[in-house]
Chains A and B, each alone.
Chain A
């Protein structure tokens, strides 16, 4: 079955760029019908959608983060990535990658990675 795994630095300095990668196994990222997503959870808080990408490269971002977020896809490696620029302590969170299932719109996130904690600190 499809599995997702996040990877990347657990510590990022303020003002720098947070970079994470999600590797998809057990299925092809190019199979269509899914938007590949990033979602974060601040410590002790709720979930916040960051954005998602289709295998073709079409992206959608949370308006509140749009100016700092870039999501890209590498179909040859079956991976998609997140870059969040100009980070502050407020970006400290657990970052999840997830598969967004789509019929007309993305109606649910049916598979999640285990999550990776990213701390922003000098």
Chain B
């Protein structure tokens, strides 16, 4: 199992939208609709933000949305807020879970 590929960093200004990509293969992202996304603030545990590609758990703002096209999944955060600054990880089922390397989101 190879880790999924994410950009190391992305940035955006408050109010803007940013998209974080997560690229895998037909054996993971492309093969199953079981992609999840996690937000992690420094020193804290990860928090589930999106599951099953595009579903939001209760309590997650609708500013967070997920999608998938082929072997690439994406997390879009609209209306950026300062508290969105964090690390974001994707995860896909691939017979067993595999995570992406993480993306640091900076809110300028």
A104: nearest residue on chain B (CB-CB)? B34
Contact residues in A for B107 (Cβ distance below 8 Å)? none
Contacting pair A109 B48 (CB below 8 A): yes
Q: How far is the CA of A46 from the CA of B98 in the complex (A)?
A: 11
Instruction: Scan residues 79-108 of chain B and give those whose CB is less than 8 A from a CB of chain A.
Output: 89, 91, 93, 96-102
B69 CB within 8 Å of chain A:
no
Contact residues in B for A48 (Cβ distance below 8 Å)? 99
Contacting pair A109 B93 (CB below 8 A): no
A104 to chain B, nearest CB (A): 9
* Chain B contacts to A: CB under 8 angstroms: 1, 3, 32, 34, 36, 38, 44-48, 51-52, 57, 89, 91, 93, 96-102
Cβ contacts A to B, 28 pairs, < 8 Å: A45-B102, A46-B3, A46-B89, A46-B101, A46-B102, A47-B89, A47-B91, A47-B102, A49-B97, A49-B98, A62-B1, A62-B96, A63-B96, A96-B45, A101-B51, A107-B51, A107-B93, A108-B34, A108-B36, A108-B91, A109-B46, A109-B91, A109-B97, A112-B45, A112-B46, A112-B47, A113-B45, A115-B45
**A106-B93, A109-B46, A112-B46 given. 20 additional CB < 8 A pairs?**
A46-B99, A47-B38, A47-B91, A49-B96, A49-B99, A62-B96, A63-B1, A96-B45, A105-B93, A107-B34, A107-B51, A108-B34, A108-B48, A108-B91, A109-B91, A109-B97, A110-B57, A112-B45, A113-B45, A114-B44
